[in-house]
Structure 1
Amino acid sequence: ELCSPPIFIAIDYGLEELVSIMLPLYDVPTKSNNDNNNNKTSATTLINTLSSEQDGGGYTPLQWASWMGSLEIVKLLIQVGGAQVDEEAVSLARENDHEDIATYLQQHVDIYSNIDSSDLDTIMDKACRNGDSTKVRELLDDENYNLDQWKDGEGKYLALSPMYMAVKFGHYDVVQLFMDRGGVMIDEVESALATAAAAE
């Protein structure tokens, strides 16, 4: 007996063509909650509610594909299946070093939508965690973000500083951006590296 919907198995094995064939199968009739008429629940809805676990506590197909590392299946689920991108899918891709998928997903989700636009520290933190160099550049250029607030009395970057987060998650393009702007010197990068290593 299958514990997960078959589409998860197809994703597991990277079977793009089979996933493509399966997507229309999830566009099935369902009863309306308001009346007894048969209505159609689109594949878009079902793709976003399917779970890899019977109790509903698992991953969605898109999250699973992001975890497994198939960019073409990820694109198929979004472009054909109407899968909704969420931060969990981005995080799962990054956890498994699927940077191409994470970059693609990030183009389809606003990871800052639940943050107050005036909370620059939280926005910078999320940008550095996610390697969003465009947002970091925007904060540095348009908001004149102050990196020095994250230094201790000796001028070293504190744990959980933007520099620390960029180093910890391996986003060296963001680190390079800090350096290019003259706000960070090589010894400060080494300090952040040491702090990140000590926290492992």
Structure 2
Amino acid sequence: MDGTAGTKIDLKKELDAYRARRGEFRVVDVPPMRYLMLDGHGDPNSSPEFAESVESLYPLAYAMKFASKRALGRDYVVPPLEGLWWADDMTAFTSARDTSAWEWTLMLMVPEWLDGAACAAAVAQVRAKGGAPRLDEVRFEELAEGLCVQTLHVGSFDDEGPVLDRMHGEFIPGQGLTLAGKHHEIYLSDFRRVAPEKQRTILRQPVV
């Protein structure tokens, strides 16, 4: 993703790490990428912290996008929202689906040509325009996942359990691999606007 001047790139179409098919588990080597991140806890459907995180990440991401276009001539589509999810007992994501036990980090990926200084400038810009609920808590950080297994899930988040059971309990051990790192979701659909049965989500699990 070189962000060539004068072109508008869509990072989720450029990167192999954002490709997945429904009904297919695929092993992919994910390169280190940098993100805007916010942490939280609990049920995303009822947590004010979750909604405030979404409301804080997007203004910052768009401020960075417009600054990139204006100052560098490099325009891009803001990547989809992503989330890391974990719990003390990972069955909270599969059979139990105990949302009260969930810990999460919401993320928006940032192109490689933008750095921490660009993020800090965007934070100042958003603050000057009225701020965002959790603006001062956003961090700019690299995530290095490496080898992962992923698939495309179409449907409600509540229906992910059987897919994750097959990924964790059948495919991954069947490949001689073991789970390593946090469950990762990439929301190709805007879950605020798309009906649950039509939502498209990449489910990713780092492995070794």
What TM-score does the superposition give when structure 1 sets the normalisation length?
A: 0.23
Which has the larger helix fraction?
A: 1
Please say which structure displays the higher CA radius of gyration: 1
Which has the larger strand fraction?
A: 2
